[in-house]
Amino acid sequence: MNRRSIRLLLIVFCLLAFPYRSPAPFIYTPGEGWTYEPVGGVGKWQRPRAKDQLDIAQAAFDKADYGLALKAARRVVRIWPLSDYAPRAQYLVGRCFEVKGNDEKAFKEYQKLLEKHPKMLNYEEVLRRQFHIAEKYLAGKWFRLWGVIPFFPSMEKTSDMFDKVVKNGPYSDIAPHAQLRVGVAREKQKNYPLAVKAYELAADRYHDRPNIAADALFRAALAYNKQAQTADYDQSTAGQAIATFTDFMTLYPDDKRVPQAQKIITALKSEQARGNFQIAKFYEKRKRWNGALVYYNEVLVQDPNSPYANEARLRIDELKKRTLQASK
């Protein structure tokens, strides 16, 4: 056996006979990810009982040591998921992400908490935290790519957040406001049909809360109006806007927005009259008198005081004479 072989055997023997733990500042734990451990500090924060482990997490959180609080709380959730201490630990996980500014992750951790522990004492508080996080994204905060890089705002994701808040506590104090925000997010997408649907659901479900129901109905009418103005003027949607504004004024006659609703209705009816007048002229040019008469009459029905009404009456009289002469 040569000298090199003897030296190699001695090294192997020493490694096996005198094992030691090398410094490893970054430790990977399944379900927790990578964490930093100072040399000599590995495992010092770990405890054999759930309560003691939660105490470590809470003490670290109170001292603003959110890294330690996060991994200690996660350990409670991972090792003792059915213990009485798991809900508080999961709550601390969400709080750590929230104070560190990772709101999307915080929202998801709160969602886990609400789904797994629906009878927890601070359920309403967690709902409010989810609501306020969603409001940040409604205001334009960017979602993160891979949970790390701020990438883009998304009203689709924001709407989904508010929808989760509603589903988590449909009759909680915060749910009606969350349902309204679903509609606001859809409006920002310019998805007016889904906005209307969200507002109408709020008006129906929370009809016993007049402030919410009135606001929802008014917003639904506004969304119909916006939809009617997109692309070519949509007569049927304009009609739905008028009907919804009318319902709003009938149900809430003392609301301060009634004059605004009346003004919008007047503008909508005037636009409907203009549209029907243009259609009537189209038919008249092609000598389709009966069709023209129908639409000139619609001008009078929609808005008898519009600028088009007088000319519509004149055209009706003229077309009646023509149809009478043609029948002789």
pTM over 0.85, yes/no: no
Burial class of 27 by CB neighbour count within 10 A (0 to 12, 13 to 18, 19+)? middle
Distance of CA 139 to the CA centre of its chain: 11
d(CA 55, CA 31): 21
For residues 98 and 41, which has the higher predicted lDDT (pLDDT)?
A: 98
Strand partners, 145: 149
Type and span of the H or E element at 236: helix 235-251
Which pLDDT tens digit goes with each residue over 69-94?
999 999 999 999 999 999 999 999 99
- In the predicted structure, residue 128 carries a pLDDT above the cut 90: yes
Higher pLDDT, 288 or 114: 114
DSSP class of residue 19 equals -
pLDDT tens, residue by residue, 208-229: 999 999 999 999 999 999 998 8
Distance CA 185, CA 170 (A): 18
The residues, ordered by sequence, that sit 6+ positions from 192 with a Cβ below 8 Å of its Cβ are: 186, 223, 224, 226, 227, 230
pLDDT averaged over every residue in the chain: 84
For the chain, give the percent of residues with pLDDT over 90.
58
Tokens of 305: 């005081």
Q: How far is CA 2 from the centre of its chain?
A: 74
Amino acid letter, 295: Y
DSSP code, position 38: -
Closest CA to 166 of 156, 175, 158: 175
Find the length of the chain.
328
Terminal-to-terminal C-alpha distance of the chain: 130
Spatial separation of the C-alpha atoms in residues 124 and 127, rounded to whole Å: 5
Name which of 253, 314, 307 is nearest 284 in CA terms. 314
